[in-house]
Amino acid sequence: MQDETEFDQDPRAYAGVGSGPLRPGERVTLTDAKGRKHSVLLAEGGVFHTSKGGIPHDDLLGGPEGVVVHSHGGTAYLALRPLLADVTVAMPRGAAVVYPKDAAQIVGGADVFPGARVIEAGVGSGALTISLLRAIGPTGRLISYERRDDFAAIAATNVQNFIGGPHPGWDLRVGDLVERLAADPPGQVDRVVLDMLAPWDCVDAVAEVLVPGGVLCAYVATTTQLARTVETIRIHTGFTEPEATESLVRGWHAEGLAVRPQHAMVGHTGFLIFARRLAPGVVAPARRRRPAPGAYGEDYTGPRGDRG
């Protein structure tokens, strides 16, 4: 755990990035020759026990990462500080986490920058929160809303354990996003990220607090959520045409002339929807793309793809 002086001197500490010699209280990942990984919290005098014998923590403390240590039985392990992706998929969770491939798309697609003012709802287990805090840096501000006290407590613990202390720009609030935003002044937020069951219920509220040009990002799991969120953003008319994406990650086996895709892949986890806030009173030019026959039901009364 870093102290306040260390946080003031090293901005990398706000991102949970370790550097220099390994210290007590830090985590390392030990990887054997078969690629099996073990997460170890270092402590003076501690021992990590394996089926091949113990590994004294003192063999690692005070030295650099990226070294090989041996158990008492002679098995070799590569020791490295865990990456953010390693931490998020293994952290304690109350709600499902946003996986690294989606968190990277959110930070990049929403263009979350150092110093940005960002709203996030809901927090879940804090995986996306860590990525957002890294992106805004020590000068930005992230306000995270979570309805459930238990999820908020888990997220707070995960974030502080990863960073090593409190982040000066993070404000975790328990409560309903729409109700809390009603009291906020308009046009004060650069980015809004919604990870919730019904993001369409929040479109009007977040439109009021987003600056012109600000980005709204919604993360949803199903096609029905995707369709309703996109249509709600269109009906509002205060945003650009929403764009929806899905990311799939497939690993490749490459050894000599044996180059082929791996049998397993990280497939569907969720859909991302991005739209930008227009200036007050401005309506974007109507789309000229005609929808496919039957794209809208007979009872649909909202805007259509061939409007204008």
pLDDT, tens only, 85-105: 888 888 888 788 888 999 999
9, amino acid identity: Q
Q: What is the per-residue pLDDT across 154-175, written as a single tens digit (0 to 9) for each?
A: 999 999 888 888 899 999 999 9
Looking at residue 3, its pLDDT comes to: 45
| Of residues 283, 304, 286, the one with CA closest to residue 295 | 304
Query: What per-residue confidence (pLDDT) applies to 244?
Result: 97
Task: Report residue 5's pLDDT band, with 50, 70 and 90 as the boundaries.
Answer: very low
Per-residue pLDDT tens over the stretch 270-287: 999 999 999 988 888 877
Distance CA 161, CA 92 (A): 11
3-state secondary structure of 8: helix
pLDDT for res 9: 43
Distance of CA 4 to CAs 115, 141, 167, 209, 291, Å? Answer: 20, 18, 10, 32, 57
Domains observed in the chain: 19-80 (3.10.330.20), 86-276 (3.40.50.150)
> What's this model's pTM, rounded to 2 decimal places?
0.83
Length of the chain as a residue count? 308
Question: In the prediction, which pLDDT does 300 show?
Answer: 62
CA distance linking residue 30 with residue 40, whole number of Å:
7
The pLDDT tens digits for 232-249 are 999 999 999 999 999 999
